[in-house]
Amino acid sequence: MKFVISNQVVLSRVPDGPIAPYLGGFADSLIATGYTAWWIHRQVLLGASFSQWLGRKAVALQDLTSDHLTRYLQHRARRLRPRRDDHGALTHLLGFLRREGVVPEETTAVPTPSSVDQCVLAYEAYLREQRALTTATIVNYVPFVHAFLEHRFGAGVVKLSCLSAADVVNFVRHQAPRLHRKRAKLMTTALRSFLNYARFCGDVDVDLAAAVPVVPNWSMASIPRAIGPAQVRQLLASIDRRTALGRRDYAIVLLLARLGLRAGEVASLQLDDIDWKAGQLSVHGKSGYRNKLPLPADVGRAIAVYLKSGRPPSTSRSVFLRARAPVCGFQGGCTVGSIVRHRLQRSDVDAPTFGAHQFRHGLATEMLRGGASLGEIGELLGHRHPQTTMIYTKVDIQALRKLALPWPGDAR
């Protein structure tokens, strides 16, 4: 006798076991997140088999743990060939049951944080709550601060009042030779931030941040690698906009190229950030900074086409969604970077890099060559400090030659 789980799943017999009453809701959740009918049927069938095994073992839902998943799959492998995604499918089911509140969250023994860990956690909270820094910045700073405290205090108790300039200098001298120049500069920036925090807390009376050595570096030594206008046009032309995926990726590349957005800014773009009447885009920049930008007609048209005939049905407010289940917004800028890399690899474009940031550099370079001021460029790119925009003055060599003073004396 067939048993209907949902409009997309029909089993050959009535399921039993403790999970059986929840299989219909599980199937509905998979449908809502965009999984295919075949994959939904397979996950529900595996869940029904798992439920039957739990019933034979007399395992109640309140006692269900991830260890039961492993034991069941070992049992199943004795008579059926295992698949790589079996564990993931059951983990998905277990997550659904926990969200429904029928299976409790697993409690694991949390080790007592060390004195160094406690100090770092307090510093993280300061960066997040007092300084409003982004998660990416905090993630970059914390490992260096943790290493510095371990270098100075080891497994002992952290006493920031005992820190001295010699401790700071010795740590930098020990670590800097092992790091790339950019990483070494990031390390010194993180240390200055932490030492300013220590002074803010009142644990340090002197300005130890001033004792952090400067990593040798020629000012503005590297020129940003920028993609050219012809390369951008070639890349856009290579994207097949007849497909939903193509319409999404075309809109993303156009946003990067025309507005110079960062990959993370594109990923975090929400439907409410687009003001269609005013023709404006509200961009969530670094440190929570919001910047309103004009929405070019071609960019707005590309986004509208994607929203109308490319974006999967979803309750998510993110503009751009994953093309494969689970259908949801991007987790971060890395997804946008992967899309750019994939599109460049499939095209014949000879781009400077495979990254998304080259579009930002390309826009700034063309604006500079078109006569835009550094202030205008910085405003569009969302730079909060003029020094950040100064790097682009090295790009337009011809314009710089016009500013060069003649060599004193007669020309020879």
Residue 382 corresponds to which amino acid? G
Minimum mean pLDDT range among 33-37, 284-288, 315-319: 284-288
Assign 215 a pLDDT band (cuts: 50, 70, 90).
confident
Task: Say yes or no to pLDDT of 355 above 80.
Answer: yes
For residue 403, pLDDT over 50 is answered with no
Asked whether the predicted pLDDT for residue 242 surpasses 90, the reply is: yes
First-last CA distance in the chain: 101
Reported as a single tens digit per residue, the pLDDT across 193-209 is 999 999 999 888 888 99
Give how far Cα 4 sits from Cα of 26, 33, 47, 179, 308, Å: 13, 20, 15, 61, 33
DSSP for 208-236, written as a single string = GGGGSPPPP--TT-S------HHHHHHHH
The whole-number pLDDT of residue 165 equals: 92
Percent of the chain clearing pLDDT 90 (strictly above): 45
Q: Tokens at residue 254, please?
A: 């156009």
User: How does residue 390 score in pLDDT terms, banded at 50, 70 and 90?
Assistant: low
Q: Which of 110, 145, 111 is nearest to 126 (CA)?
A: 145
Active-site residues, by number, are: 262, 286, 357, 360, 383, 392
223-227, 266-270, 329-333: least confident range? 223-227
* Residue 3 backbone dihedrals phi, psi, to 5 degrees: -130, 125
pLDDT of residue 412: 47
DSSP states along 278-295: TTEEEEE-GGG-EEEEE-
In this predicted structure, the answer to whether residue 33 has a pLDDT above a threshold of 90 is no
- Distance, in Å, from the CA atom of 211 to the CA atom of 58, rounded to the nearest integer, reads 65
> What is the Cα–Cα distance from 15 to 21, expressed in whole angstroms?
9
**Residue type (1 letter), 144:** F
pLDDT of residue 59: 92
Domains, the chain: 3-99 (no CATH), 115-211 (1.10.150.130), 229-360 (1.10.443.10)
pLDDT digits (tens, 9 = 90+) for 81-110: 888 888 988 998 999 999 999 899 877 666
What are the DSSP calls for 73-114, one per residue? HHHHHTTS---TTHHHHHHHHHHHHHHTTSSPPPP-PPPPPP
Sorting pLDDT into bands at 50, 70 and 90, what band is 407? low
Q: What's the confidence (pLDDT) of residue 75?
A: 92
Per DSSP, the three-state class of 183 is helix
H-helix or E-strand spanning residue 346:
helix 333-346
Task: Tell me what the mean pLDDT of segment 326-348 comes to.
Answer: 90
Would the pLDDT of 221 be above 80?
Answer: no
According to the model, what pLDDT value does residue 324 have? 85
**By percentage, how much of the chain surpasses pLDDT 70?**
85
Does the pLDDT of residue 131 top 60, yes or no?
yes
How far is residue 260's CA from residue 284's CA, in Å, rounded to a whole number?
A: 13
CA–CA gap between residue 333 and residue 79 (Å, rounded): 43
- Mean pLDDT of the 145-173 span: 92
Q: Cβ distance 51 to 16 under 8 Å?
A: yes
Asked if pLDDT for residue 153 goes beyond 50, the answer is yes
pLDDT of residue 81: 86
User: pLDDT at position 332, please?
Assistant: 85
- Of 56-60, 159-163, 223-227, the range with the lowest mean pLDDT is 223-227
